[in-house]
Amino acid sequence: MAPQFPLRLRERDHWNFFLTIPDMDRSKVKINSVKGSQFLEPLFEFSGACGGCGETPYIKLLTQLFGDRLLIGNATGCSSIYGGNLPTTPYSSNRDGRGPAWNNSLFEDCAEFSMGFRVTLDKQREFAVELLQKLADKIGAPLVNDILGADQSTEGGVALQRARVEQVRGKLKGDKNGDAIRLLGVIDSVVRKSVWGVGGDGWAYDIGYGGLDHVLASGKNVNLLVLDTGVYSNTGGQCSKATPLGAVAKFAFGGKPVPRKDLGLLAMTYGHVYTAQIALGYNDLQSVKALLEAESYDGPSLIIANSHCIAHGIDMSRGLDQQKLSVECGAWPLYRYDPRRAAEGLNPLQLDSKPPKIKVSEWAYTETRFKMLTKMLPEQAQHLMERAQETTDAHWRFYEQLAALDYGKNGKPEAK
Amino acid sequence: MDLSTTYLGLKLANPIVASSSPLSYTLDGIRRLEDGGVAAVVLHSLFEEQLKAEAYELEFLTTQGTESFAEALSYFPRPEKFVLGPEEYLKLISDAKKAVKIPVIASLNGVTPGGWISYARDIQKAGADALELNVYFLPTDPFMTGEAVERNYVEILKSVRSQVKIPVAVKLSPFFSSLANIARRLDEAGANGLVLFNRFYQPDLDLEALEVAPRVELSTSAEMRLPLRWIAILHRRLKCNLALTTGVHTGEDTVKSVMAGADAVMVCSALLKNGPAHAKKIRDEMLAWMEKHDYSSVTQMKGSMSQKSVAEPAAYERANYMKTIQSFRPMM
């Protein structure tokens, strides 16, 4: 034991040294890998979430992948509380002063609120393009053409576009022309932005479901990340439509009698919605891939992320193991549905987890939310667990068949 | 030849009972004990610590993070009552009751009165024919008086007694200042039987690792002298039944136990060492001895060598000490 304050002074120096270590050049990192993504600077740190929170790793990853061009519309809930502990915020900025733009409106309107970001950005970009073309003589036609035709599908492409925007700023600096002044106000919109609506299952499955469906149907390039804990975590573990069959929650005292709503399947029925179900604890690479694919898709995306929670009654230091078990028993199958594949004659649905290899009970009874029912209503618990096994098996078989449907080529070369 | 006896109100085909041991961990093990010839089985013990640990764990997991955030003061609904305890144990009882014809005696092992005792009710509900309460308590606190230790035993028994209607036996240790007194007090507090004696496993020292090493040593026939003496002393002085445990390996050991006054004779080490079928061998040896000596029933033998029956009662008391010492002649 030693007095704490002198130790902290020493650690302060260490911390300052740590901050001087240069970050990786984003354009040189292979970000579509777990290692590569973890080389990127997180722009989400020191949140006020519960120790071991299962949601925050997804947000951290999101900021690593798209942080300096990320716009988040956050549903009210845990993620808006630990994400906006005002006057402090865990969202930070990089050395260039860039970081995520974050806002929170209400609980129920997260998807629509985020779509508002997209509509605004699209309009700004439309206006910027109009002004660029109008001022092409002043700016230089080659630069304007480069900006309008830029490929920003990679980090390198985004960096080049930012450099072009800086050139435009340089050329129009001090220009009193009204159009030039207006262009400087919206020129940033030509750099590709990443719009995400982030919230929990209470928002996405229940209270904001109408709006979420509306945004998916709009076809707009809005990404929705559902941090699915299966309960209203922020208000103390009330049952939501994401609560699994058999789990005890507030308002589901005797165990939830019906299965979790298959939100992903509902989204897939549109055909144009990129949809993925992910769990960092089972396959972190699949999580990275899904986020990148969703972001690269020019249309609506829905990512449903398995998030362990204090309201599950688990040892929070083993949260990722719980996620793994939930996938291994088939209760949380991993998949990606990419509409772009259908256009190539491939089945858009890819199952990313293996067939169930353990019983649902082998996962469920490691969590108090299921186990406690055996202590309260043992017969009911047994009945619900049998039902949970049946519905999980049927659900997996259904997905297997969906993923096996022939979309034409299904990956095979065209017959001559 | 009538080998039957009555223990805890249960009619047993013979006095040999398998005492609490790993042999009764599984249903298959219990079946093998029945096939091996025991007349009743005491299941392995369910420990107070197990029950408490489960309750603490449930409490921890359902209350972690509570009262720390204004919008969510709790994360789980609070039922009025939880049914605690490993279901496996209860399931083993009910499965055993269906699988075997011999009486099944459950065993609870604990040292303090408290909520865990309510689990006795579930044991009764699961179908156990009786309950053996094993108070495995080693008082190491220099400030704890003998009276406090004894009160603890009586309180635990009373708590269990208030929870169940099935017969309850108490397994005792021999370490009491006045064993006869505590036996009487437990008898009066409602014990249907006393099991003499608990065999404390004495830890050994591992000199290489410099650790206290738990080490199980099986008993020998010589160890039965202590319970034998006390069964003989207590026989017909109490209302409750007496069971002898520790050191019973042969038919002769069983005969001695019954003659001292035991209603049941518990066997553990001999079965662990030789397998469950050894019970039959013990029974056959007892039978042969009885035939040879012209006994027609266990009842006839029971207590025939107890302190109240023998011609020289002092043989069980201090006077016997002098005789013993004087009878020993060291080899020169």
Give per-residue pLDDT as tens, A189-201. Answer: 999 999 999 999 9
The answer to whether residue A99 sits within a structural domain is yes
Mark out chain B residues that contact chain A at CB-CB < 8 A.
58, 61-62, 64-65, 71-77, 79, 81-84, 87
Q: What mean pLDDT, rounded, does chain B reach?
A: 88
A-chain residue closest to B71, CA distance: A235
Residue of B65, B77, B79 lying closest to A310 (CB–CB): B65
Which residues contact residue A415 at a Cβ distance below 8 angstroms, ignoring those fewer than 6 apart? none
Give the three-state DSSP class for B138.
coil
Q: How confident is the model at residue B51 (pLDDT cuts 50, 70, 90)?
A: confident
Instruction: Confirm or reject contact between A378 and chain B (CB < 8 A).
Output: yes
CB contact under 8 A, A253 and B77: yes
What are the residues facing A349 on neighbouring strands? A337
The answer to whether residue B75 sits within a structural domain is no
- Determine how β-strand B168-172 pairs with β-strand A101-104: unpaired
Give per-residue pLDDT as tens, A89-119. Answer: 999 999 889 999 999 989 999 999 999 999 9
Q: Considering its fold, how many domains does chain A have in total?
A: 1
C-alpha dist (Å) from residue A226 to A101, A197, A212, A305: 18, 8, 11, 6
Give per-residue pLDDT as tens, A370-380. Answer: 998 988 888 89
Q: Considering its fold, how many domains does chain B have in total?
A: 1
Instruction: Confirm or reject contact between A380 and chain B (CB < 8 A).
Output: no
Euclidean distance between the first and final Cα of chain A, in Å?
78
Tell me: cis bond preceding A5? Omega within 30 of 0 counts.
Answer: no
CB contact under 8 A, A237 and B82: no
**What per-residue confidence (pLDDT) applies to A209?**
96
Please state, as a whole number, how many other Cβ atoms lie within 10 Å of the Cβ of residue A270.
Answer: 16
* Locus of tokens 């035993």: B153
Chain B: closest CA distance from residue A54 (Å): 14
Closest C-alpha among A300, A295, A253, A301 to residue A277: A301
Q: How confident is the model at residue A3 (pLDDT cuts 50, 70, 90)?
A: very high
Closest C-alpha among A279, A284, A370 to residue A327: A279
Closest C-alpha among A102, A298, A83 to residue A196: A102
Lowest mean pLDDT among A43-52, A304-313, B32-41, B317-326: B317-326
Integer Cα distance of A98 and A67 in angstroms: 8
Residue by residue, DSSP assigns A30-87 as: -TTSHHHHHHSPPSB-S--SPTT-SSHHHHHHHHHHHGGGEEEEE-SSHHHHHT--TT
Residue of B65, B71, B81 lying closest to A235 (CB–CB): B71
Give the three-state DSSP class for A228.
strand
* Locus of tokens 């006095």: B15
CB contact under 8 A, A376 and B83: yes
Q: How confident is the model at residue B320 (pLDDT cuts 50, 70, 90)?
A: low
Give per-residue pLDDT as tens, A52-76. Answer: 999 999 999 999 999 889 999 999 9
B199 exposure class (CB count in 10 Å sphere: 0-12, 13-18, 19+): buried
Chain A: closest CA distance from residue B54 (Å): 11
Q: What is the CATH number of the domain that holds A47?
A: 3.40.50.970
Highest mean pLDDT (candidates A246-250, A281-285, B221-225): A281-285
Give per-residue pLDDT as tens, B115-154. Answer: 677 788 889 999 999 999 988 778 889 999 999 999 999 9
Residue of A250, A314, A378 lying closest to B77 (CB–CB): A250
Residue by residue, DSSP assigns A231-274 as: EETTTT-EE-TTSPTT--BBTBTT---SPPP-HHHHHHTTSS-E
Q: Which domain holds residue A386?
A: 27-411
- Total length of chain B: 332
Integer Cα distance of A208 and A214 in angstroms: 10
CB contact under 8 A, B79 and A376: yes
The answer to whether residue B307 sits within a structural domain is yes
CB B160 within 8 A of CB B117: yes
CA A49 to chain centre: 17
Structure tokens at B214: 């738990």
The answer to whether residue A91 sits within a structural domain is yes
Enter the DSSP assignment of A305. E
The answer to whether residue A319 sits within a structural domain is yes
Residue of A249, A368, A374 lying closest to B61 (CB–CB): A368
Instruction: Confirm or reject contact between A366 and chain B (CB < 8 A).
Output: no
Integer Cα distance of A381 and A404 in angstroms: 34
CB A111 within 8 A of CB A214: yes
- Mean pLDDT, residues A36-52 taken together: 93
CB contact under 8 A, B71 and A234: yes
The answer to whether residue A190 sits within a structural domain is yes
CB contact under 8 A, B75 and A311: yes
Chain A: closest CA distance from residue B74 (Å): 5
Euclidean distance between the first and final Cα of chain B, in Å?
48
Residue by residue, DSSP assigns A339-402 as: HHHHHTTS-SEEE-SPPP-S-HHHHHTTSHHHHHHHHH-HHHHHHHHHHHHHHHHHHHHHHHHH
**What per-residue confidence (pLDDT) applies to B58?**
79
Chain A environment of B58 (Cβ under 8 Å): 368, 371-372, 375
pLDDT at residue B322 tops 70 = no
Structure tokens at A147: 């900006």
Give per-residue pLDDT as tens, A215-265. Answer: 999 999 999 999 999 999 888 888 999 999 999 988 888 899 999 999 999
Chain A environment of B81 (Cβ under 8 Å): 376
CB contact under 8 A, B77 and A248: yes
CB contact under 8 A, A372 and B71: no
B-chain residue closest to A314, CA distance: B61
**What per-residue confidence (pLDDT) applies to A416?**
43
Chain B environment of A248 (Cβ under 8 Å): 76-77
Q: Which of residues 163-202 of A touch B (CB under 8 A)?
A: none
Chain B: closest CA distance from residue A233 (Å): 7
Residue B42, amino acid: V
Residue of B61, B76, B84 lying closest to A237 (CB–CB): B76
The answer to whether residue A22 sits within a structural domain is no
The answer to whether residue B174 sits within a structural domain is yes
What are the residues facing B266 on neighbouring strands? B17
The answer to whether residue A11 sits within a structural domain is no
Integer Cα distance of A64 and A36 in angstroms: 10
CB contact under 8 A, B76 and A248: yes
Structure tokens at B231: 């069964």
Q: How confident is the model at residue A415 (pLDDT cuts 50, 70, 90)?
A: very low
Name the CA dihedral angle for B232, B235, B237, B239, rounded to a multiple of 10 degrees. Answer: 150
Element (H, E) at A99: none
Structure tokens at A226: 């559902």
CB contact under 8 A, B73 and A236: yes
CB pairs under 8 A between A and B: 61
CB B182 within 8 A of CB B198: no
Select from A310, A361, A365, A371 the residue whose CB has the most chain B CBs within 10 Å, as the one to mutate to test that interface. Answer: A310
Interface predicted TM-score (ipTM): 0.71
**What per-residue confidence (pLDDT) applies to B82?**
66
Rounded percentage of chain A residues whose pLDDT exceeds 70: 98
Q: What is the CATH number of the domain that holds B278?
A: 3.20.20.70
